[in-house]
Amino acid sequence: MNQSEFARLIGRSPTYVRERINDEKEWALGDIERMCKLWGLTPTQLIEGAPRLDDAEHDRAPVEPDFLTMAAKHGDTEAEREAAYREARGTDPIDIDAWADRIKAEDKVNVK
């Protein structure tokens, strides 16, 4: 997905998106909400994937590409969203069904 398509999908102009991806301006809360909906993420997942700034860096924008830049480069399929999430977090997302099955199996063992 390129920046123009990304801009269209969140209802913004390409210039608006470019300025924010280049850290010239900040994203509005509504933009963040639309991005979350687009990528199938919760706001928490999006924020968890963002790099942390050291206290000394608070006065300037991060030099390295941020999570939003990375995520904007990924497509809109579920697999690509999961890949973006894994890349940002450095971990695989939790498989809730597998986790629940494991807990059920452990409970049966403990009950016997």
Question: Domain span at residue 21?
Answer: 3-111
What's the structural domain count of the chain? 1
Question: In 1-112, which residue ranges form alpha helices assigned H by DSSP?
Answer: 3-9, 14-21, 29-39, 43-48, 67-73, 78-89, 96-111
Report percent pLDDT > 90 for the chain: 14
> How confident is the prediction for the chain on average, in pLDDT?
73
Report percent pLDDT > 70 for the chain: 54
Q: Region 69-91: what's the mean pLDDT?
A: 61
To the question of pTM greater than 0.85 for the whole model, the response is no
- pLDDT at res. 15: 94
Q: pLDDT tens digits, residue range 13-52?
A: 999 999 998 989 998 888 888 988 988 888 888 888 777 7
- The C-alpha torsion from 7 through 13 and 18 to 20, rounded to 10°, is -90
Residue type (1 letter), 14:
P
Neighbours of 11 (CB within 10 A): 10
- pLDDT at res. 67: 56
Does the pLDDT of residue 92 top 70, yes or no? no
CB 81 within 8 A of CB 36: no
